[in-house]
Amino acid sequence: MTDRVDEANAPVVAEGVRGSRPSGPSRALVTGGSSGLGAALCRALVARGDQVVSADVNLPAEPIDGVGYLTLDVRSDQDWSDAVAWVDREWGGLDVLFNNAGVAGGGRVDVAGIEEWEWITGINLFGVVRGTKAFVPMMKRQRSGLIVNTASLAGLVHPAGMGSYNAVKAAVVAFTETLGHELAEYGIRAAVVCPSYFRTGLVDAMQGTDTAVGEVIGALVAHAPLGPDEIAAAVLEALDRGEELILPDEAARAAYELKVTDRAAYDDLMRKQAARLNAMGAR
């Protein structure tokens, strides 16, 4: 991994994420911080006065003032080891780990190939696991820390045509809850973020042979009412309140409430959506 932190984009020091440290600024690492929700989280954290480093496979076209940058592939154990070494050397600890990096994918079960499942699982699930395993020893020594994993509403509500994406995001939800129980005695919190569709470039890099699914998801994202900055602001507010399951937008909250309170209506809606997708054919 290449150390890309320079003086022009060195992390700043000021007030931090409330509740993650006894006092002073929070030291936060954000994966996938070069674009989308990751970049929005970096902007919001810096605006609050936190020390922030973005870890991504690519450097952003327009770096954010006050954000440090590391090159990191979440699939690489060596990159994670290097990230831990950088944090230990430069900061002496980490208060907030945002396991945010992810990719979009999906496809009906008889259309999507196994290699598509392996690709999305390696990034969206094992990337989260690797990052957590890398930094938990440091947080245990500190007896403090906050792990924030970006999942999706798809981790709670499971539309047709998105089997692989739904499965890995549901796994991230379950993994995060497990962490919260397992690490509580060390003073470490865990939270999972489950937004509905919001405007992001993630879909532009969506992979999959089921192009009908890509068309549907692309349209939903394009017409979403919120952008990443609004989601990021809602996430930080929820973290300040101590929430562990974060539904940062009204659409996500409404969809999850329907599933919990009226399962028959939820199933009917999901199956109607599946029928419309199937009517489009495998293309």
pLDDT single digits (tens) 17-69: 544 444 568 999 999 999 999 999 999 999 999 999 999 999 888 899 999 99
Q: What is the spatial distance between Cα 256 and Cα 150, in angstroms, rounded to a whole number?
A: 17
Give the 3-state secondary structure of residue 82. Answer: helix
- Residue 223's identity, in one-letter code, is H
Residue 81 near residue 72, CB atoms below 8 Å: no
Q: Among this protein's residues, is 256 annotated catalytic?
A: no
User: Exactly one of 69, 165, 256, 266 is catalytic; which is it?
Assistant: 165
Higher pLDDT, 134 or 226: 134
Q: State the pLDDT confidence band at 104, using cuts at 50, 70 and 90.
A: confident
pLDDT higher than threshold 70 for residue 108: yes
Q: Stretch 82-102: mean pLDDT, rounded? A: 97
263, with CB counted inside 10 A (0-12, 13-18, 19+), is: exposed
Q: What is the spatial distance between Cα 35 and Cα 229, in angstroms, rounded to a whole number?
A: 11
Q: State the pLDDT confidence band at 136, using cuts at 50, 70 and 90.
A: very high
Low-confidence winner among 40-49, 100-109, 205-214 (lowest mean pLDDT): 205-214
pLDDT higher than threshold 50 for residue 209: yes
Torsion, CA 238, CA 189, CA 159, CA 37, rounded to 10: 60
CA 230 to chain centre: 15
The torsion region of residue 161 among left (phi > 0), alpha (psi -120 to 50) and beta comes to: left
